[in-house]
């Protein structure tokens, strides 16, 4: 009987020990499984490849690529068309079959749109609708800053404007002119818009507006924008004291009052977020194409001081100017010589 009790106690203790050991090993086994899964996921992500295609190594493209890489965990390589030595870039892409093709600039997008079976993300393209034909494997970020935001910024700088002039080619920027009419009407501003079909008529069309407008709005229209027309527009502005709203800072440096452009680094990051969504399994056509979310406004201080029409000096001269936080957010102005810049974010609207 005594031996039976001893045997029972030994078996009981052994069972307890085994259960405890089993319970102690469970967390370790679970941890090992989780660790293996994480290693597998990281190895899969590491194998994901993105090939960036760009026409050349110009500074805005380089900055955009830096922004893209800042948010991407994939392996990013690139093909520079101007350095390809005549090689068939499309053929090489088809052979490599990357997970995503990143098209930087309109030339790159025009080239890679021929590829239909690989996802493509574009950026640094002003008017992608003129290049694309509703391809389902392509999405991206355009350089377009919504007309409504541009007009709001213009009114902030020139609060007393009553009439705005613009010229446009219906085939190139007719859709922008239509949006400008709607935005102007909403803001109580008269828009004087003139159609042009070739650059040769720009001087006469602009001269017809000189008694009717307070400011001229320069659209990114390739029919209108030539070295000759730019020179005429800037002289027109100077001689008739009619400020110009341009789409690039380089025109502000030449004599336009202000410009509204994009932040290349942030646009790259925006495209990188789209690419991450595609790499996670979302189809390219399910990732909506978007406009640039961050705009950079540049103001020429010298032109602002000479302007006949009232200029909002708080924006031109002060640092850290809060501009209607519900619409534009707190703005940081950076002074560089005679140019002031401030940025506002789409998410703050």
Residues 273-308: tens digit of each pLDDT: 999 999 999 999 999 999 998 888 888 888 887 877
Residue 86 lies in a domain: yes
Residue 157 lies in a domain: yes
The answer to whether the CB of 269 falls within 8 A of the CB of 291 is: no
**Residue 58 sits in the same domain as residue 177:** no
**Residue 256 sits in the same domain as residue 230:** yes
| Range of the structural domain that residue 174 is part of | 147-264+293-348
Round to whole Å and give the CA distance between 167 and 176.
11
Residue 326 lies in a domain: yes
DSSP string of 198-242, one letter each residue: SGGGHHHHHHTTTTT-SEEE----TTT--HHHHHHHHHHHHHHT-
Question: Which one has a higher pLDDT value, 249 or 139?
Answer: 139
Round to whole Å and give the CA distance between 38 and 42.
6
Minimum mean pLDDT among 6-10, 45-49, 72-76: which range? 6-10
Per-residue pLDDT band for 255 (boundaries 50, 70, 90) equals very high
Q: Is 77 helix (H, G, I), strand (E, B) or coil?
A: strand
pLDDT tens per residue, range 187-228? 999 999 999 999 999 999 999 999 999 999 999 998 999 999
CATH code for the domain of 73: 3.40.50.2300
Sign of the torsion formed by the C-alpha atoms of 202, 204, 207 and 209: negative
Residue 42 lies in a domain: no
Residue 328 lies in a domain: yes
Closest-CA residue to 113 (of 168, 62, 56, 53): 53
**Residue 152 sits in the same domain as residue 60:** no
Q: What is the pLDDT of residue 270?
A: 97
**Residue 103 sits in the same domain as residue 248:** no
Per-residue pLDDT band for 337 (boundaries 50, 70, 90) equals very low
> Residue 45 pLDDT > 70, yes or no?
no
Q: What is the pLDDT of residue 19?
A: 57
Round to whole Å and give the CA distance between 289 and 172.
19
**Residue 281 sits in the same domain as residue 342:** no
Q: What is the pLDDT of residue 206?
A: 97
**Residue 259 sits in the same domain as residue 335:** yes
Q: What is the pLDDT of residue 130?
A: 86
**Residue 185 sits in the same domain as residue 310:** yes
**Residue 136 sits in the same domain as residue 210:** no
Residue 153 lies in a domain: yes
**Residue 131 sits in the same domain as residue 279:** yes
Backbone angles phi, psi at 191, to 5 degrees: -105, 120
**Residue 187 sits in the same domain as residue 232:** yes
Round to whole Å and give the CA distance between 139 and 37.
31
Q: What is the pLDDT of residue 36?
A: 59
Residue 43 lies in a domain: no
As a whole number of Å, the end-to-end CA separation of the chain is: 87
**Residue 259 sits in the same domain as residue 326:** yes
Tally of structural domains, the chain: 3
- Report pTM: 0.71
The answer to whether the CB of 146 falls within 8 A of the CB of 295 is: no
Residue 118 lies in a domain: yes
**Residue 29 sits in the same domain as residue 112:** no
Minimum mean pLDDT among 184-188, 251-255, 311-315: which range? 311-315
The answer to whether the CB of 264 falls within 8 A of the CB of 125 is: no
Determine the average pLDDT of the residues in 50-68. 96
Q: Is 187 helix (H, G, I), strand (E, B) or coil?
A: coil
């Amino acid at each position: 009987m005594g031996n039976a009790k001893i045997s029972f106690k030994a078996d009981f203790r052994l069972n307890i020990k085994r259960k405890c050991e089993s319970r102690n090993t469970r967390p370790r086994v679970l941890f090992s499984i989780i660790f293996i899964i994480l290693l597998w996921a990281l190895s899969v992500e590491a194998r994901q490849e993105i090939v960036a295609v760009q026409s050349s190594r110009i500074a805005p493209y380089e900055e955009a690529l830096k922004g893209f890489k800042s948010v991407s965990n994939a392996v990013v390589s690139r093909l520079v068309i101007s350095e390809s030595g005549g090689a068939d870039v499309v053929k090489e892409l088809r052979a490599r079959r990357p997970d995503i093709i990143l098209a930087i600039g309109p030339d790159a997008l025009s080239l890679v749109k021929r590829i239909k079976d690989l996802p493509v993300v574009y950026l640094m393209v002003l008017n992608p609708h003129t290049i694309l034909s509703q391809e389902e494997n392509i999405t991206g970020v355009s350089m377009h800053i919504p007309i409504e935001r541009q007009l709001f910024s213009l009114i902030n700088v020139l609060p007393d404007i009553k009439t705005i002039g613009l010229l446009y080619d219906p085939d190139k920027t007719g859709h922008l002119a239509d949006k400008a009419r709607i935005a102007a009407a909403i803001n109580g501003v008269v828009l004087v818009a003139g159609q042009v079909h070739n650059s040769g008529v720009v001087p006469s069309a602009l001269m017809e507006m000189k008694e009717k407008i307070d400011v001229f709005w320069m659209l990114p229209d390739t029919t209108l924008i030539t070295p000759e027309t730019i020179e005429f527009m800037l002289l027109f502005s100077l001689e008739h004291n009619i400020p110009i709203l341009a789409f690039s800072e380089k025109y502000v440096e030449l004599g336009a009052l202000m410009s509204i452009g994009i932040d290349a680094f942030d646009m790259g990051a925006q495209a990188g977020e789209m690419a991450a969504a595609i790499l996670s399994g979302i189809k390219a056509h399910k990732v909506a194409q978007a406009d640039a979310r961050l705009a950079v406004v540049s103001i020429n201080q010298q032109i602002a001081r000479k302007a006949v029409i009232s200029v909002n000096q708080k924006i031109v001269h002060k640092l850290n100017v809060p501009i209607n936080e519900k619409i534009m957010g707190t703005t940081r102005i950076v002074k560089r010589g005679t140019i002031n810049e401030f940025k506002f974010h789409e998410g703050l609207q």
